[in-house]
Amino acid sequence: MSFNPELEKLYSPSMWSRRYGSAELISKFVELSHKVVDEARKTIPCQIDIPYGSSERMKYDIYGTNLSNDAPVVIFIHGGYYQEGSKETIGFGIPSLVAQGIKVILLGYDLCPAVKLADIVGQIKVATTEILTISKKNEATNVWIVGHSAGAHLAASLLHDVEWRARMAERNLLPLLKGIALFGGIYHLRDILDLSTNAVLQLTEEEIKKYSFNDLDTTELTPVEGINVIVGVGECDSPEFIQSSKHYAQQLLKFVDRVHYIFFRNSTDHFDIVENLLNPDNLLTKLIIHNVKQEAL
């Protein structure tokens, strides 16, 4: 089967950076992310590989275990097109956030083709439910979720599951979830059916209809009243990802009360948008810290 090279490029964010070529960009991203996490495990009190399910990847790490029980919590969900990456590739915010009294959780999940996209979405909900339950028991001030790339799409899935939100509300857990921040996300999945990557993902028409959030009818979704949603994308991300983020922010406004869209300039690409969390003075770092602390008041 032949693939459209222009379409392949549009769905390959690493092809649009001004810093490095695609392979080098990804290699440096993975190398830096593991270096940050390795250093954090040596210098910051943490608990590693807490299981929330039966598989090897269904685990999460907590950084800042020395902080008070009621400290706010930020959950990070990694990307990798649902087939690559790990919780160790989304730890850039650990030093900056823990220094500000915020616990950081890195969330892992199973990957395609071992599981289907629907399974991964389900795992995110299981993990989030567990973390919200523990956070409520600890009387944490609030919980935020930050998703990057495919992780942004997975985080967004929580907003579109009316039944899950209702269950969280019944257990008085939903009020704890104060924000979901989505960076470099993919919200239009239909074109993936025509991409080479679908050989691994094996997305079905049913999954496309259910999880392509830019194409969903939002009229039947119950309003989201207490959760801030931030949608961000860098100017050197793929044009498709940029357009998808803009469109999704507009879609969210139909049922989410508080939505913020941010376009990161200064040649910000798909990868350094989260790498920059290492810098406590970076716009995104300050934005997350400000919002989390504001909700803690």
Active site residues: 149, 237, 270
SS (H, E, C) 197-251: CHHHHCCCHHHHHHHCHHHCCCCCCCCEEEEEEEEEEEEECCHHHHHHHHHHHHH
Beta bridge partners of 24: none
- What sign does the CA torsion over 189, 192, 198, 202 have? positive
Return d(Cα 260, Cα 257) in angstroms, integer: 10
DSSP string, 26-62: HHHHHHHHHHHHHHHHHHS-EEEEEESSSSTT-EEEE
Taken as a whole, the chain contains a residue count of 297
Beta bridge partners of 75: 105, 145
